[in-house]
Amino acid sequence: MAAVPDRPLDQATVTECHLAFSKMLERYAWAIVRDWSLAADVVQTSFIALSRFGGDVAPEARKSWLFRVTHREAIRVRERQKPYNQTTPLATSAVFETHATYEVSPLSRMAAQEDVEELTQKIDCLPPEQHQVLRLRFFENKTFAEIAQLMQIPLGTALSRMRLALERLRSMSNELED
């Protein structure tokens, strides 16, 4: 007797999940594939999978299920692309350009710009040693080992300063997510 492959989930639940998790999953997928277009494709595939096979996934497990599917799909898509070279510096200047194609409205782009302004101000309020680590890492694209060497501090201290800086900035990023 042939097994029935599809275990469909009702459309309303899929929509609800999409509203709740799609943005987060898209960012997650981007972290792996580094392309907003591909990330959107990955998330779309994940929700199609949820729609077709998510019928027997417990409601409390749906988010984890979506993350797992998105992870696998993102890895698959990344491997299908040209090999990802870890030593090549990221084309970070293109991060926003690519993402801009996904912005649904100029208003959201303006809001993102305002968020950046706010974050920039917040960066200014960081203690000098944390500010310097951020500057060296994000602008001068130095590794933490290089930063530690430059600042004549242990690698752990450089990482710790970064961690502290991120903690202070996290409240801002929480607002950005909302």
Partner 1 sequence: MTSKNDPQTNRTNEHLEAMLYLLDDPALDREAFEARLADDAQLGEILAQAVTTFQALQAASFKPNGIAQGSVARRTSSVLNALPQWQFLSVLAASILLACFLGWQTHFEMRSGLADNGSNNVVLAWGDIQSAVLDHQGTREVSEFELENALAMSDSLPEMDVPEWLVIAAADTAEGFELDDRKVIIQ
Interacting residues toward partner 1 by CB under 8 A: 24-25, 27-28, 30-32, 63-64, 67-68, 70-72, 75, 86-87, 89-90, 92-93, 95-96, 99, 112, 115-116, 119-121, 123-124, 131, 134-135, 137-140, 143-145, 155, 159, 162-163, 166-167, 169-170, 172-174, 176-177
Beta-carbon neighbour count of residue 68 at 10 Å?
12
**Closer CB to partner 1, 48 or 111, in the complex:** 111
**Cβ pair 163, 157 in contact under 8 A:** no
Query: Among candidates 83, 90, 108, which has minimal Cα distance to 30?
Result: 90
**Between residues 6 and 178, which has the closer beta carbon with respect to partner 1?**
178
Nearest CB to partner 1, comparing residues 48 and 91:
91
Distance between CA atoms of residues 94 and 103, nearest Å: 14
Are the C-beta atoms of 55 and 7 separated by less than 8 Å? yes
Q: Measured from the CB of residue 25, what is the shortest distance to partner 1 in angstroms? A: 7
